Chains A and B, each alone.
Chain A
């Protein structure tokens, strides 16, 4: 029997891709077993062993490098660990905040400044050390989130101690550190936090340029439209192949912010900067909302991005139902209103089914792969 060749892949896989490949291998084994039992597929022993050894080596390598789950129990445990890790990070961040507030009054100003600067640096060092000693990465990510919290505390408390005039620039430095930590330790939660801080900073800057006070940037949703489009395009301009789930976070978060802004303007045109009547502005943003959410669904289908597709669907439904509410809530008896809502849901279901059938037929005629 030939010795099993070392497993190589053309491009390094991120965790999601590695998990998909592992699932594919496990599904192949299960199907192969059924085919062998039914006598459909009979492989020579040496060939079967060769395939089995290759897959064993592949699974072992992916488990070591990407910590993939090789059975359903492990997958459930991983999900549990992610949830616990998130809760733990939030609790540790809150604890750090309250710990500092509880005792900072007992320190001299010099000690306070030294502590505030040391906290993010020490927790960063801890995160880097943990990443080297713990393969799962969960503890390193927890430490990274603590470091980010320490950084936010650092900036806020320095401003407080020295009575510094509050400024939106704080969000820019939060975002900068958040991005660096996210890419350094592959922390998706920190990427989301950094993107949100960037939205706050960009929105505040737009607000200042338009003559309002930065604290109230959120009252004018148009401040966030350009920023959300910009962040949506980031994964297209800069490939996020090596960073598992980052592209998804950029695009889903940007889409959510964009659609919330459009949804607000579609129902409250007077918050717009556009020099038209509120009714016209609302009408324009309703059209923008419908078109953009439909386009996002198509984009999600084309790029196989299920979360984007879902986001598009949810906002399309929201735009539709808010319009229904506007048109019919006062005018129709409630049973008829909800009947109409139900009927549109059935109509949408029929359309999705037909679309699915067309896609299935197209894939069969193309002799293509079944995904």
Chain B
């Protein structure tokens, strides 16, 4: 190649690296120039992500967020209550559901209908409070004598209710996705109207959602406005070297060891860890 085009291409390659990195770092700076929300999370909301056997190859540390959605089903002894904290389905208002513009159902047509969306995250707010109240009420309910059950069965039921209450009080995540819409603006009004307490926090973050699995099923149980929040767009956070020493060395210990992290969400709705103890 002659010298002139070669030089031009060489400078274009250098410019690509410099400009793209410049844009990324500028966005990081803009994001961190203002704090939208500050979440004081503990080991209840944090976990070490699975490294799929590559832990020895990766010296970097990340912590994942544990979150759930409000479960409209009442607590009962019938179902496996320990999975209650992994709920991902949520019913949204007509306006918010319409904002996703899911394609119409067509028989025999494959549609994953997964898309990017915005969700409203609530920490230690009304949703968690409702769950706690429900667990307390259920615990109180099973303490009452039930003549239809044998003493042994009733004792087991009471034990499970006590475990459930203890989990709700001490171990269950307090981070809830409480609403979703296609744009962040639609969630701003919900955020403004949501009752808060001094300890509760609300923040709008990007996520991936999809239509409910049974959206196109013609059954009476179909919840027309139900969606599934597949994952938060940023589901795990990088732990900088200065904070990494606070993390336990293996995944099994993170739930048993006390951990406190302050997570900031910035102007562009992207999070970072401020403190970790």
Binding site for B on A (CB under 8 A): 98, 101-109, 113, 116-117, 120-121, 124, 128, 151, 154-155, 158-166, 173, 176-177, 180-181, 183-184, 186, 208, 211-216, 219, 242, 268, 270-271, 277-278
Bound-state Cα–Cα, A111 to B244, Å: 16
Q: SS class of chain A's interface: helix, strand, loop or mixed?
A: helix
Please tell me the number of chain B residues within 8 Å of chain A, measured between CB atoms: 51
Contacting A at CB under 8 A, from B16-50, are 16-18, 20-21, 24-25, 27-28, 31
A106 touches B21 (CB 8 A): no
Bound-state Cα–Cα, A107 to B238, Å: 13
A181 touches B238 (CB 8 A): no
For residue A177, give the distance in angstroms from its CB to the closest CB of chain B. Answer: 5
Bound-state Cα–Cα, A107 to B54, Å: 19
B59 touches A165 (CB 8 A): no
Map CB proximity to A onto B202-214 as digits: 1 under 8 Å, 0 otherwise.
0000101010000
Contacting A at CB under 8 A, from B188-214, are 206, 208, 210
B103 touches A164 (CB 8 A): no
For residue B223, give the distance in angstroms from its CB to the closest CB of chain A. Answer: 21
14 new A-B contacts at CB < 8 Å, known A177-B16, A270-B109, A270-B110: A98-B57, A103-B59, A108-B241, A117-B21, A121-B17, A159-B24, A162-B28, A164-B24, A164-B270, A165-B206, A173-B20, A184-B10, A211-B113, A242-B1
Contacts of A116 in B (CB 8 A): 21
Given contacts A107-B241, A184-B10, contact A164 B27 (CB under 8 A): yes
Bound-state Cα–Cα, A216 to B6, Å: 38
B59 touches A184 (CB 8 A): no
Contacts of A186 in B (CB 8 A): 1
A164 touches B57 (CB 8 A): no
Contacting A at CB under 8 A, from B90-115, are 100-103, 108-110, 112-115
B13 touches A163 (CB 8 A): no
Nearest-CB residue, chain A, relative to B104: A275
Nearest-CB residue, chain A, relative to B234: A163
B17 touches A216 (CB 8 A): no
Nearest-CB residue, chain A, relative to B9: A184
Is B217 in contact with chain A by the CB < 8 A criterion? no
Contacts of A166 in B (CB 8 A): 233
| Interchain Cβ contacts under 8 Å between A and B, 19 examples | A101-B57, A103-B59, A105-B241, A117-B17, A117-B21, A120-B17, A154-B21, A158-B24, A159-B24, A163-B238, A164-B234, A176-B16, A177-B13, A184-B9, A211-B102, A212-B112, A214-B116, A270-B108, A271-B110
Q: SS class of chain B's interface: helix, strand, loop or mixed?
A: mixed
Is B153 in contact with chain A by the CB < 8 A criterion? no
Is B246 in contact with chain A by the CB < 8 A criterion? no
Is B88 in contact with chain A by the CB < 8 A criterion? no
B13 touches A124 (CB 8 A): yes
For residue A158, give the distance in angstroms from its CB to the closest CB of chain B. Answer: 5
For residue A91, give the distance in angstroms from its CB to the closest CB of chain B. Answer: 16
Q: How many A-B residue pairs have CB under 8 A?
A: 125
Is B240 in contact with chain A by the CB < 8 A criterion? yes
Nearest-CB residue, chain A, relative to B113: A212
B270 touches A163 (CB 8 A): yes
Contacts of B149 in A (CB 8 A): none
Is B60 in contact with chain A by the CB < 8 A criterion? yes
Bound-state Cα–Cα, A117 to B59, Å: 20
Contacts of B6 in A (CB 8 A): 184
Given contacts A163-B237, A164-B270, contact A104 B60 (CB under 8 A): yes
Residue of B20, B57, B103 ringed by the most chain A CB atoms within 10 A: B20
For residue B51, give the distance in angstroms from its CB to the closest CB of chain A. Answer: 10
Contacts of A180 in B (CB 8 A): 9, 12-13, 16
A101 touches B58 (CB 8 A): yes
Is B14 in contact with chain A by the CB < 8 A criterion? yes
B16 touches A212 (CB 8 A): no
Contacts of B160 in A (CB 8 A): none
A108 touches B16 (CB 8 A): no
Is B218 in contact with chain A by the CB < 8 A criterion? no
Bound-state Cα–Cα, A127 to B116, Å: 40
Contacts of A160 in B (CB 8 A): 60, 62, 238
Is B61 in contact with chain A by the CB < 8 A criterion? yes
Nearest-CB residue, chain A, relative to B209: A213
Contacts of B272 in A (CB 8 A): 162-163
Contacts of B108 in A (CB 8 A): 270, 277-278
| 7 nearest A-B residue pairs (beta carbon) | A105-B59, A184-B9, A105-B60, A270-B110, A213-B114, A165-B233, A180-B13
Bound-state Cα–Cα, A271 to B103, Å: 13
